[in-house]
Structure 1
Amino acid sequence: MKSVFILSLRRMAKTPLGFEPVEGSLTSSSKKREYRVTNRLQEGKRPLYAIVFNFIDPRYYNVFATVGGHRVTVYQCLEGGVIDGLQSYADEDKDESFYTLSWACNIDGAPFLVAGGISGIIRVIDTGSEKIYKNLVGHGDSVNEIRTQALKPSLVISASKDESVRLWNVHTGICILIFGGAGGHRNEVLSVDFHPSDIYRIASCGMDNTVKIWSMKEFWTYVEKSFTWTDLPSKFPTKYVQFPMVIASVHSNYVDCNRWLGDFILSKSVDNAIVLWEPKTKEQIPGEGAVDILQKYPVPECDIWFIKFSCDFHYNATAIGNREGKIYVWELQSSPPMLLARLSHMQCRSPIRQTAMSFDGSTILSCCEDGTIWRWDATAAP
């Protein structure tokens, strides 16, 4: 299939755009981190749905990308609040709307960006050669989230409106596994995540109000086969995984973001909180849906769906925006929960669709419904 992308490489202003840094509103906790706004960019008029730092390659930890409308844009965070625009990719189909992206890499280490949205076609962009590397075709409807397996960053997983989750090899373009069917989701799948240390496990959630934990252990030979497959991707023996290990009913409404925290899971719905819980397998506790709720991280005015939280590399903290343009930063390694900061600015009033925390959490980015990107940087300790 021919690429429907046009690539434009452009350099943007390296100044903070004359934006005056302003202190955010902060909590009074003893361990709080103080942040201040150091930059704001107006990327366009269309909503920005995703913003992601590159944690796959240590050479590019300060590089991030955004998606909105038919564009994928790559930036670099520099000292002093500077944001340097590096690359911008525009789809020829102006009706395309990207909802998600994830950093990945080829087997030779070349950095990839993997983006998907309303068309259901996933684009694999080689940011080194500045070309489309693959088009991943298979989903029957829009793609809501893409995540990368950190232990094998040529593997990505996608969550779709077509009620399925798909595992892909971006090197060969193969769809290896499809998670769906008899025990699958019964509405749009909104979020998905790989377990950080168990390479076989994933968690997915969606509009059927459930979180499902899946295992690909018995299908792992197909994952290995996908790296050496030389025939057409369409001829690969893609397998269906129809039954999850766990079906958890933690929320009573749409579940639009889930992330593993060790063997625990962080998930959120439209209930103004992120919930930390422990899944129980049928062997541990008989019956589906058995979970232990460990604690909650309140997020006021976060009662609209498709708002996603992010964590720093070591999962010490999480940052989440709300519909009023505020950001709440919670410490994850404390009990009871500790609010590290509440960030707000009088000019940021639009819903924040996603945040991105830097490697050490010292920089927090947010992308908004009004097409803006905000940068907050931690101030030095006195």
Structure 2
Amino acid sequence: MASPAASLKHERDEPLEKSASPFQDDYNADASSSSASSPPKKQRTPEASSPSTTTMPESNASQPQTNSEQLEAVFRNMRLRRIVKENHGGEINQLAFFLDPQHNKAPFGLDQIKEFDKQGSVRRDPMDNSNVLGTTGGPQANVYDNEHCGDHLDIMSHFLLAPVIENDEEVTPEMLTCCWIHQPQDAILATAGTDRVVHILSLARSKELRRLTGHTHTITDIQPNHFNDQYVLSASKDCTVRLWNILTGKCLCIFEIKASVACFNPNTEGRTFLTGGYNGEIREWEIPELDGVDPEEPILISADNSRLLHPKLHAARIDCIRFCQGKVLSKSVNGKIEYWDPTTLEVLRTFTIKNSASNQCRFDVSMDQLFFCVGTSNGSTYIYNVESGRMVTELKHRRSTKAIRTCVFTRDSRSVVCGGEDSFLWRYDYVTDEVLDEWAKWKPEA
């Protein structure tokens, strides 16, 4: 599935590496992977080591631990258990699990207790797609199954943009962003990048359903509205943010602002959204009442009709915004994350990411909204406690030396998946104390 010719400009200046081993076809292809756990013998994951449930750390103190304390113990026991190399050779720009908080009411975090069949696969509700992981990097969007194949991240589907001709030269587009959208009996992956098109991909049908066209420059961010499964936002370097109806393919509204990222506001059930700019400013926008009817022409909304919340909250380009416990976490590429109240605009806490030079990274908030994870320029990923402001742990491996561009929690918070410059996926899993003790006693055979 190829995109039309377009003016292509990469989000970052460094060139993409050429893919050494392209997939043979668009779907059901293999991805090369290798394990990097210690000891080097193959170990089963904590989940697979139990036939029925996942063991959680127990407290030695007389007082029971809170969820936050138990999760901190889980994070401190995380070790690298799986590495997957994507074949495009470029950066992995975004990861997204299909967590679907509005339609999937299954437990999450410590409340999610997994059960396994005799083959070690997770027993789950067939409507629960939280095991599905989408990735974008180079000219590809890939979909993985993160649970049903033991330790593996198993490739499920693959979407490839063909090179296009621009100024008599062949140019390879780059996918920069993606998000999941719920539809009945389907999981929809929306993805976009330098080809200026939002691609709407059906996982159930393994095909591209439609293309949303209208942007005239690179698309840097797309965000779903979890309160209305028809709507998606796209932010572009063409100085607009657009609201789309993915079912009809029509652009409903054009918001005139040069924003690098956007985020729907769950406090208003998706009727408003925030944008983060290249100059560090944050604005709030209201979506017009559409009454379920697409306008004949997109509604133009100028910046004068938005609310400037913070003109200079950040000193550099904002690369990620997420809501957490009714408040906002916003990050800039200089490694500063601000936690602030969108009503009073009071800054509650500032996080300075350790050992990180200027780095673009999309952070993630756990489903219980108690923690966030964020990558650094040197290959580390940190997990922070939102309430205490404390850095809980550093996820790091000696082979991970390039910048982490994106990281995500699984639904049960027992794994964190990271991706970045070197086209590797790094999955860190919770490992029980018993297994860690066993590893400590391990000695190589003589």
1:17 aligns with 2:34: yes
Q: How do 1:1-382 residues align onto structure 2 when only pairs under 5 Å count?
A: 4=3, 8-12=26-30, 17-21=34-38, 31-32=72-73, 33=75, 34-44=77-87, 45-56=89-100, 58=104, 59-78=128-147, 80-93=150-163, 95-106=172-183, 108-180=184-256, 184-185=257-258, 189-198=259-268, 199-216=270-287, 219-221=288-290, 224-226=292-294, 236-242=296-302, 243-248=305-310, 249-280=312-343, 291-332=345-386, 334=387, 336-380=388-432
Deviation at 1:305, TM superposition (A): 4.2
Contact 1:22/1:37 (<8 A) preserved: no
Q: Give the letter for the 1:325 counterpart.
A: G
Contact 1:255 1:267 in 2 (8 A): yes
Change (3 A) 1:92 1:279: same
CA displacement at 1:149 relative to structure 2: 1.0
1:20-46, Cα deviation, whole Å (9 max, x unpaired): 3479xxxxx964422111100111211
Distance 1:262 1:246 in 2: 22
1:310 offset after TM fit, Å?
Answer: 0.9
> Cα deviation per residue 1:206-264 (whole Å; 9 max; x = unaligned)?
21221111111xx1226x213xxxxxxxx832112222123312112211111122442
SS at match of 2:347: strand
Question: Alignment partner of 2:293: what SS?
Answer: helix
Deviations 1:311-341 (A, max 9, x none): 1223221110000000010122x2x312221
Change (3 A) 1:110 1:197: farther
Task: Indicate the structure (1 or 2) with the bigger Cα radius of gyration.
Answer: 2
- Do the aligned residues in 1 keep the contact of 2:200 with 2:208 (CA within 8 Å)? yes
- Percent identity of the aligned residues? 20
Question: Does the 8 A contact of 2:185 with 2:204 survive in 1?
Answer: no
* Separation in structure 1 between the aligned mates of residue 374 and residue 39 of structure 2, nearest angstrom: 19
Q: How far apart are the structure 2 equivalents of 1:381 and 1:315? A: 25
1:357, distance to aligned residue in structure 2 (A): 1.0
Letter in 2 for 1:210: E
State the distance in 1 between where 2:3 and 2:218 align: 17
Normalising to structure 1: TM-score of the pair?
A: 0.84
Change beyond 3 A, Cα 1:18–1:37: closer
CA distance in structure 2 between the partners assigned to 1:213 and 1:301 by the alignment: 32
Q: Is 1:52–1:102's contact at 8 Å kept on the other side of the alignment?
A: yes
Distance across 2 between alignment mates of 1:109 and 1:313? 23
Conserved in 2, the CA contact under 8 Å of 1:68 and 1:98? yes
**Alpha-carbon separation, structure 1, partners of 2:329 and 2:35:** 38
How far apart are 1:381 and its partner, in Å? 6.1
Counterpart CA distance in 2 for 1:43 and 1:145 is 21
SS of aligned partner of 1:81: coil
Does structure 2 conserve the Cα–Cα contact (< 8 Å) formed by 1:22 and 1:36? no
CA contact (8 A) 2:99 2:129 kept: yes
| Amino acid aligned to 1:50 | Q
Please tell me the root mean square deviation across aligned C-alpha atoms, in Å: 2.5
Q: Residue 279 of structure 1: SS of its match in structure 2? A: coil
Shift of residue 370 of structure 1?
Answer: 0.8
CA contact (8 A) 1:104 1:153 kept: yes
Matches of 1:109 and 1:7 in 2, distance apart? 25
Q: Report if the CA contact (8 A) 1:21-1:39 is conserved.
A: no
CA contact (8 A) 1:214 1:246 kept: no
Gapped runs of 5+ residues in structure 2? 5-23, 41-67, 105-127, 164-170, 435-446
8 Å CA contact retained: 1:48, 1:368? yes
What is the CA-CA distance between 1:3 and the residue it aligns to?
5.7
Instruction: Name the amino acid aligned to 2:228.
Output: K
How many pairs does the alignment contain?
A: 346
